[in-house]
């Protein structure tokens, strides 16, 4: 089963996956606002770094859930 198909299924069936995906998108929007600025304060740089870490952790979690789902089909 393709990754895109699994993602679509999990978005419908798994609250945990849906929540992780929503947060991931929220963090991406916040990061885009930082990218639009020509200068970041030290506080903003720190927040940007933390958002990147959180976003990556959510991506890892979603990948784990997708892998777990794929294995459950076998």
Question: In angstroms, what CA-CA distances link 62 with 17, 35, 41, 42, 48?
Answer: 6, 24, 31, 30, 21
Is this prediction's pTM over 0.95? no
Q: Which of 61, 6, 50, 46 is nearest to 27 (CA)?
A: 50
Pair of tokens at residue 42: 């030290």
pLDDT digits (tens, 9 = 90+) for 4-53: 999 999 999 999 999 999 999 999 999 999 999 999 999 999 999 999 99
For residues 13 and 21, give the distance between their C-alpha atoms in angstroms, rounded to a whole number: 13
């Amino acid at each position: 089963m393709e990754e895109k198909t699994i993602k679509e299924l999990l978005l419908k069936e798994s609250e945990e996956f849906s929540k992780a995906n929503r947060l991931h998108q929220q963090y991406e929007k916040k990061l885009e606002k930082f990218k639009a600025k020509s200068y970041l304060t030290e506080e903003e740089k720190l927040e940007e770094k933390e958002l990147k870490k959180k976003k990556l952790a959510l991506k890892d979690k979603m990948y784990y859930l997708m892998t777990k789902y794929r294995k459950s089909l076998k």
